[in-house]
C-alpha cells in the first residue's frame, strides 16, 4: 500500500534513511543512474538537498537519503497549521533550492514535489528536497503540475488566509511563460508583503472549487439544459401546428376551386388525420415518458422476492420477535455484505448506514469505542489537529495515523517521540503497516484494539 512513487520502490530504514532500491518491479541498476547528477547532489556546495549515499551490490544500486532529524512536510502540516506568511516562505525556500540547482545543471523535473516526500527540520520553513539522479523517470508530472498540487495541499493548513497571493501563484503556474525563477520572485514579493490585492474568496473557489459549489454549478447547468429543451419542444409544437393548419387550408381551397363529392371526403379524411394523428402521438409519447419515470422510481421496491439473488456468503441467523402477525420468525443476513438488501418476512429492508472500523480503548475500566470514519484518522495529544486526542504522558502531539485505501486500512507512525507498536512490534516512522481485525496498537502506556466492525 503506497510503497511506490513514479513506479520507484521505496522504504524507510528507521528514522534515519529513505531508500529507493527498485524501478518498475526490478532492482535499480547502475546504468539507470545519471552519474554526473549523482555526484553533483553529493557535493556539499549544493544546498537544500537531502544528502545521498549510493549503495552498490554488483550492478544493482540503491539510493539512500539521510533524513535523520527530519520529518515529512505533510506530517508537520497535520501537526500544526501555518500562517500565510509561512506558506509564502516555504514556497520561496523550495523554489530557491530548485533555482540554485539549475546553476549546477540539475534538472528541475527531477525533484520530488509531494508533501509526503518533502522533508523539514524543526522549523517548518527549513525545507529539504529529494532529487532523483536518474536518466528517466516514469509517470512523473511536470514541475508546474506538481507545484500546483503542492500549493493546493498546503493552502488547507493556512489559518489566516489574506491577500490574493495564492491566486497569483496559481495563475503563474498555469501561464505558458512559467518558470521557477518567476515563482521564486513572486513568492519573495509576497513574503515581503508587496502584494496588496485584497483576498477574493470567489476567485479562490474558482481555483479550488468546493464540492458544494461544484454541485450547485452542475445543478445550474442541468436546469439550463432543461430550459433549452423545453423551449425547443414548444417551438417544435408551434411549428407543427402551423404547418398542419396551412395544409388543411390549402386542401379546402383546392376543394372549393374544383368541388366534387369524392374530393370532399378526401379533404375531410385528411383534415381529421392531420388533427388527430399528432394529438394521438403526443398522448402516447407522454404516457410512455410517465411509465419510464415510474419504472425508475420504483425499480428497486417493485422487485419480487424471486428477483433477489442469493448471496454466496456465510450466513448468520437473527431472530425477530416483534414483527406484525408473527410469533417468532427468523431471517438470514449476510456477514460479508452488511449493506446488502435482504428479504425479511416478505418485506424489503433497505440498506442501513455504512459501518466503519473502530478503536477500542480501556479508559479507567470503561471500554471507549471510537469510530474511524475518515480516510485519514490521526491520534495524538494535540486536540486541535488530531482526529482523536489522548491526553496521556508520552503521547506525541501527532502520534500515529490510520489511513484507508483500496486494500483496507493501514497504520503509520508520524515520527512520534516514544514510537508506536503494532502487536508488540515497534513500527518504523512513516512506514505503512496493514491492519487486521483485533490488532493491538500501543502508544506510550495506551493500548487500543482495532476492530473492523463497529
Model confidence pLDDT, tens digit, residues 163-184: 788 888 988 998 888 899 999 9
Q: What pLDDT digit, counting tens, does each position of 274-298 carry?
A: 777 777 777 776 677 666 655 544 4
Of 178, 163, 191, 162, nearest in space to 92 by CA: 191
Check the CA dihedral 150-154-156-160 and report its sign: negative
Which H helix or E strand runs over 249?
helix 211-257
Of 220, 274, 211, nearest in space to 245 by CA: 274
In a 3-state reduction of DSSP, which class is residue 236?
helix
Of 213, 55, 47, nearest in space to 129 by CA: 47
Alpha carbons 330 and 320: distance in angstroms, whole number: 6
In a 3-state reduction of DSSP, which class is residue 268?
helix
Under 8 Å between Cβ of 248 and 271: yes
Give Cα separations from 304 to 129, 298, 299, 310 (angstroms): 62, 12, 11, 13
Which H helix or E strand runs over 52?
strand 52-57
Give the burial class of 290: count Cβ atoms within 10 A of its Cβ; 0-12 exposed, 13-18 middle, 19 or more buried. Answer: exposed
Alpha carbons 51 and 67: distance in angstroms, whole number: 8
What is the structure's pLDDT at 213?
Answer: 44
What is the structure's pLDDT at 193?
Answer: 66
Under 8 Å between Cβ of 67 and 17: yes
Alpha carbons 180 and 144: distance in angstroms, whole number: 8
Write out residues in the chain with pLDDT < 70, as ranges.
1-2, 193-237, 285-286, 289-354, 453-454
What is the structure's pLDDT at 276?
Answer: 77
What is the structure's pLDDT at 162?
Answer: 75
What is the structure's pLDDT at 236?
Answer: 67
Average pLDDT, the chain: 76
Under 8 Å between Cβ of 416 and 79: no
As beta bridge partners, residue 443 has: 420, 446
Q: Please give the span between the terminal C-alpha atoms of the chain, in angstroms, as a whole number.
A: 24
Alpha carbons 416 and 397: distance in angstroms, whole number: 8
Amino acid at each position: 500500500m503506497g510503497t511506490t512513487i513514479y513506479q520507484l520502490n521505496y522504504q524507510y530504514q528507521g528514522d534515519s534513511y529513505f531508500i529507493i532500491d527498485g524501478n518498475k518491479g526490478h532492482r535499480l541498476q547502475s546504468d539507470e543512474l545519471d552519474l554526473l547528477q549523482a555526484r553533483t547532489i553529493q557535493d556539499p556546495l549544493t544546498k537544500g538537498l537531502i544528502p545521498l549515499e549510493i549503495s552498490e551490490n554488483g550492478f544493482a544500486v540503491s539510493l539512500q537519503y539521510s533524513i535523520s532529524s527530519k520529518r515529512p512536510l505533510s506530517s508537520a502540516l497535520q501537526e500544526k497549521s501555518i500562517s500565510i506568511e509561512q506558506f509564502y516562505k516555504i514556497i520561496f525556500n523550495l523554489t530557491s533550492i530548485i533555482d540554485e540547482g539549475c546553476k549546477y545543471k540539475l534538472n528541475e523535473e527531477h525533484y520530488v514535489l509531494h508533501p509526503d516526500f518533502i522533508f523539514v527540520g524543526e522549523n517548518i520553513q527549513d525545507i529539504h528536497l529529494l532529487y532523483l539522479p536518474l536518466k528517466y523517470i516514469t509517470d512523473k508530472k511536470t514541475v508546474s503540475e506538481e507545484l500546483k498540487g503542492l500549493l493546493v495541499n498546503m493552502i488547507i493548513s493556512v489559518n489566516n488566509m489574506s491577500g490574493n497571493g495564492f491566486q497569483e501563484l496559481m495563475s503563474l503556474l498555469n501561464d505558458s511563460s512559467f518558470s521557477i525563477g518567476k515563482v521564486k520572485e513572486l513568492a519573495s514579493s509576497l513574503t515581503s508583503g508587496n502584494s496588496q490585492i485584497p483576498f477574493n474568496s470567489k476567485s479562490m473557489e474558482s481555483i479550488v472549487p468546493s464540492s458544494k459549489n461544484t454541485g450547485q454549478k452542475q445543478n445550474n447547468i442541468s436546469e439550463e439544459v432543461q430550459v433549452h429543451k423545453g423551449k425547443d419542444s414548444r417551438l417544435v409544437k408551434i411549428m407543427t401546428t402551423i404547418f398542419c393548419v396551412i395544409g388543411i387550408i390549402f386542401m379546402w381551397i383546392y376543394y372549393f376551386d374544383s368541388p366534387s363529392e369524392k374530393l370532399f371526403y378526401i379533404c375531410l379524411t385528411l383534415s381529421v388525420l392531420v388533427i388527430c394523428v399528432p394529438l394521438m402521438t403526443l398522448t402516447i409519447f407522454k404516457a410512455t415518458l410517465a411509465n419510464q419515470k415510474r419504472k425508475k422510481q420504483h425499480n428497486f421496491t417493485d422487485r419480487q422476492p424471486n428477483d433477489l439473488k442469493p448471496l454466496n456468503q456465510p450466513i448468520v441467523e437473527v431472530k425477530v420477535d416483534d414483527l406484525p402477525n408473527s410469533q417468532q420468525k427468523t431471517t438470514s443476513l449476510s456477514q460479508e455484505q452488511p449493506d446488502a438488501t435482504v428479504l425479511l418476512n416478505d418485506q424489503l429492508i433497505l440498506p442501513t448506514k455504512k459501518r466503519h472500523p473502530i478503536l477500542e480503548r480501556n479508559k479507567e475500566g470503561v471500554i471507549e469505542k471510537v469510530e474511524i470514519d475518515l480516510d485519514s484518522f490521526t491520534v495524538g495529544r494535540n486536540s486541535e489537529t488530531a482526529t482523536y486526542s489522548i491526553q496521556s504522558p508520552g503521547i506525541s502531539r501527532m502520534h500515529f495515523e490510520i489511513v484507508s485505501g483500496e486494500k483496507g486500512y493501514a497504520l503509520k507512525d508520524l515520527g512520534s517521540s516514544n514510537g508506536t507498536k503494532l502487536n508488540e512490534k515497534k513500527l518504523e516512522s512513516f512506514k505503512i503497516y496493514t491492519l487486521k481485525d483485533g490488532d493491538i496498537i500501543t502508544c506510550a502506556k495506551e493500548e487500543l484494539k482495532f476492530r473492523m466492525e463497529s
